[in-house]
């Protein structure tokens, strides 16, 4: 019965989806210019402007309707020139923020600007998800149905068991009626069987052997993996998504982790780096026009008031991230050594694609990690194996010229690995 109602609902849902999509496509063709304008807007304008509120520039939906299209075409194309030409309206407009002049966009064609204006007028399009309001409900049904299936199976098993018992009972009753005396030997024979089994020395030996092997290997594995935290993914104070930043938005690792290229520490970026983008990127679209609560955490830490765009030093409260990659204090690791000096070598050894940053070699596919986790075991064995296998790429590094010349073995063609240059010696990392 349930299944039938399910099927009906599914059919109904897909029918709805098809209709909704076709409606969208139709309306889409109508709003073609606004969509194109949205793309350009996101690319060029969002760092200073928002539709509905003041940023570095004014809230566009308030200010644009007050201006003529002719003025806007000139203004957006080259505002500094327009101001310089003495245009009164332009000078008036430039007073909004005397400390920041509107950037010139000479590459924008008039059609592009018109598209942008259309987008500003139309506003952010309603999402397809909102239209398909039933989608959420269907999710619920499917979950429920899964539970239902499990329940049905369980119930049927129970029924089978009960039925089986009932049949046995009935058979017995029939037999009793027939006057056959039944000895309860079944249970007795079970216990006796177990007893007999345990008196069998071979079996006991085999059993104990199995037990020892399994416990031993479990313990062995356990001990080897004590303190190895591959996959460690602590809860962070901010749900920062590397998938979004490094993956979708393709932000270079260096932009935030600049230290990795010049220091032993990769460094967690300070909040002024976050604010470079998040002063304007507030993800209001996906939070009903409110600032994303995660981005708000950055603002709170800095004592930043997003509406007034002011900082309050007295409200500053640093963010306490939880370190994911923990090396013991007695092991010295230097990011710049690996990322700058050994980049080529590591890329080759790990077979990284040209578009993948060298960081992936140890940190894994960070661009797909919603929340960051420890990808590599970070054990000494792991370090050593890489130092043994990786062939150094030293062609254009004058540091190595003399070193290579001095190494007889390397001259004879031995693979030039960090290990061959003494990279496995204790004192190279432990001091």
Partner 1 sequence: MESNKKYWKGLEEYNKTSDFVENNKNEFAEPLPIEDVLNEAGLSTVTPRRDFLKALGFGLGAVSLAACQPAPIHKSVPYLIKPEEVIPGVPNYYVSSFKGQSILVKTREGRPIKIEPNPNAGQFNCGTDAVAQASVLDLYDVSKLKAPVLKNEETTWSKVDAFVSAELAKAKASGKKIRIVSSSVYSPSTLAVVADFIAAYPTTKHVQYDAISYTGIIKANENSFGKAVIPKYNFHRADLVVSFGADFLGTWISGEEFTSQYIENRNYKTLAKGKMSRHFQFEAGMSLTGTNADTRVPVKLSEQGPALITLYNAITGANLAGGALPNNVTADKALKLVAKELVQQKGKALVVCGSNDVSTQILVNAINSAIGSYGTTIDLDNPSKRFSGNDAEFAEFQNEMNRGEVAAVFFLDSNPAYDVANAKAFTEGLAKVALKVSFSDRKDETASLCDVVATNQNYLESWGDANTYEGSYSIVQPTINPVFDSRQAEQSLLIWSNAPVKDYYQYVRNNWEKNILPVLGKTWNELLQNGVFAAAEKPAGTYTFSLSLAAVAPSVVSTSKSLAKDIELEIYETVAMRDGKHANNAFLQELPDPVSKVTWDNYVALAPKFAEEKGLKEFDLVEVKGSNGYAIILPVLIQPGQARGTASIALGYGRTKVGKAGDNVGKNAFPFLSFSNGTLQYATTVTISKTGGTYELAQTQTHHSFEGRDIIREASFAEYKKNPAAGLGKKEGGHKSYDLWDKYEKPGNNWVMAIDLNACTGCGSCIVACNVENNIPVVGRDEVRRRREMHWIRIDRYYSYEEGDKSVTEEKEIAHMENLDNVSVVHQPMLCQHCDHAPCETVCPVLATTHSSDGLNMMAYNRCVGTRYCANNCPYKVRRFNWFNYWNDSRFDNYLNNEFTQLVLNPDVTARSRGVMEKCSMCVQRIQAGKLQAKIEKRPLKDGDIKMACQEACSANAIIFGDANDPESEVSKALRSERIYYVLEEVNTQPGIGYMTKIRNTDSPKTIA
List 147, 320, 353, 413, residue binding partner 1 (CB under 8 A): 320
Contact 391, 347 (CB under 8 A): no
Query: Which span (6-14, 27-35, 145-153, 221-229) binds partner 1, by CB under 8 A?
Result: 221-229
225 binds partner 1 per the rule CB under 8 A = no
229 binds partner 1 per the rule CB under 8 A = yes
265 binds partner 1 per the rule CB under 8 A = yes
Let me know if 303 is exposed, middle or buried by CB neighbors in 10 A (0-12, 13-18, 19+): middle
List 69, 124, 305, 425, residue binding partner 1 (CB under 8 A): 425
What is residue 299's DSSP assignment?
A: H
CB of 227 to partner 1, least distance (A): 7
For residue 271, give every residue at least 6 positions away whose Cβ sits within 8 Å of its Cβ, in sequence order, or none: 298, 301, 302, 319
For residue 365, give every residue at least 6 positions away whose Cβ sits within 8 Å of its Cβ, in sequence order, or none: 375
Whole-number Å distance between alpha carbons of 4 and 166:
32
Whole-number Å distance between alpha carbons of 336 and 258:
10
Whole-number Å distance between alpha carbons of 17 and 210:
57
CB of 326 to partner 1, least distance (A): 6
412 binds partner 1 per the rule CB under 8 A = no
CB of 94 to partner 1, least distance (A): 29
Whole-number Å distance between alpha carbons of 58 and 52:
9
Q: From residue 273 to residue 292, what is the string marking binding to partner 1 with x (rule CB under 8 A)?
A: x-------------------
312 binds partner 1 per the rule CB under 8 A = no
227 binds partner 1 per the rule CB under 8 A = yes
403 binds partner 1 per the rule CB under 8 A = yes
Both tokens of residue 106? 């000479």
Query: Which span (65-73, 116-124, 133-141, 228-236) binds partner 1, by CB under 8 A?
Result: 228-236
413 binds partner 1 per the rule CB under 8 A = no
401 binds partner 1 per the rule CB under 8 A = yes
219 binds partner 1 per the rule CB under 8 A = no
336 binds partner 1 per the rule CB under 8 A = yes
List 27, 217, 337, 385, residue binding partner 1 (CB under 8 A): 337
**Displacement of CA 256 from its chain's centroid (Å):** 16
254 binds partner 1 per the rule CB under 8 A = no
Size of the site for partner 1 (CB under 8 A): 57
List 122, 238, 258, 306, residue binding partner 1 (CB under 8 A): 258
Site for partner 1 in 233-252 (CB under 8 A): 234
DSSP state string for 327-354: --TT----HHIIIIITHHHHHHHHT--T
CB of 282 to partner 1, least distance (A): 19
At 109, is the secondary structure helix, strand, or coil?
coil
305 binds partner 1 per the rule CB under 8 A = no
List 88, 199, 201, 402, residue binding partner 1 (CB under 8 A): 402
396 binds partner 1 per the rule CB under 8 A = yes
Whole-number Å distance between alpha carbons of 352 and 359:
10
DSSP state string for 169-232: HHHHHHHHHHT-----HHHHHHHHHHHHHHH-HHHHHHHHHHHHHHHHHHHHHHHHTTT--TT-
323 binds partner 1 per the rule CB under 8 A = yes
| Cα-Cα-Cα-Cα dihedral sign, residues 197, 200, 204, 206 | negative
List 32, 39, 214, 263, residue binding partner 1 (CB under 8 A): 263
381 binds partner 1 per the rule CB under 8 A = no
DSSP-derived pairing of the beta strands 304-305 and 310-311: antiparallel
Q: Which helix (H) or strand (E) holds 304?
A: strand 304-305
Interacting residue ranges for partner 1, rule: CB under 8 A: 226-227, 229, 232, 234, 258-259, 262-265, 267-273, 301-302, 316, 318-323, 326, 328-332, 334, 336-337, 340-341, 396-403, 406-408, 421-422, 425-428, 430-431
């Amino acid at each position: 019965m349930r299944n039938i109602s399910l099927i009906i609902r599914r059919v109904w849902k897909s029918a709805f989806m098809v209709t909704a999509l076709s409606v969208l496509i139709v309306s889409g063709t109508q709003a073609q210019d606004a969509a194109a304008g949205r793309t350009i807007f996101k690319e060029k304008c969002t760092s200073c402007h928002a539709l509905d509120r003041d940023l570095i520039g004014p809230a566009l939906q308030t200010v644009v309707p007050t201006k003529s299209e002719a003025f806007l075409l000139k203004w957006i194309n080259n505002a500094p020139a327009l101001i310089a030409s003495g245009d009164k309206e332009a000078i008036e407009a430039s007073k909004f923020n005397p400390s920041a002049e509107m950037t010139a966009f000479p590459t924008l064609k008039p059609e592009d600007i018109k598209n942008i204006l259309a987008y500003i007028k139309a506003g952010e399009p309603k999402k397809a998800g909102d239209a398909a309001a039933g989608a959420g409900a269907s999710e619920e049904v499917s979950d429920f149905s899964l539970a239902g299936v499990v329940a049905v199976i369980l119930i049927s098993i129970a029924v089978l068991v009960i039925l089986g018992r009932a049949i046995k009972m009935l058979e017995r009753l029939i037999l009793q009626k027939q006057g056959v005396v039944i000895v309860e030997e079944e249970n007795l024979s079970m216990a006796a069987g177990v007893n007999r089994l345990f008196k069998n020395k071979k079996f006991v030996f085999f059993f104990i052997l199995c037990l020892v092997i399994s416990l031993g290997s479990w313990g062995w594995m356990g001990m080897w993996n004590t303190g190895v935290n591959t996959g460690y993914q602590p809860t962070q104070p901010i749900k920062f998504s590397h998938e979004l930043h490094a993956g979708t938005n393709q932000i270079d690792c260096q932009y935030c982790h600049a230290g990795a290229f010049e220091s032993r520490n990769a460094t967690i970026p300070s909040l002024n780096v976050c604010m470079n983008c998040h002063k304007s990127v507030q993800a209001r679209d996906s939070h009903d026009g409110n600032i994303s609560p995660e981005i708000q955490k950055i603002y709170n830490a800095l004592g930043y008031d997003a509406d007034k765009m002011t900082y309050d030093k007295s409200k500053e409260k640093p963010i306490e991230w939880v370190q994911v990659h923990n090396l013991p204090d007695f092991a010295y690791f230097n990011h710049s050594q690996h990322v700058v000096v050994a980049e080529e070598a590591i890329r080759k050894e790990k077979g990284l694609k040209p578009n993948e940053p060298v960081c992936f070699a140890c940190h894994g596919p960070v661009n797909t990690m919603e929340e960051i986790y420890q990808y590599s075991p970070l054990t000494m064995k792991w370090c050593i194996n890489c130092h043994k296998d990786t062939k150094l790429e030293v062609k254009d590094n004058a540091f190595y010229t003399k070193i290579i010349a001095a190494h007889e073995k390397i001259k004879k063609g031995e693979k030039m690995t960090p290990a061959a240059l003494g990279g496995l010696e204790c004192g190279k990392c432990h001091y």
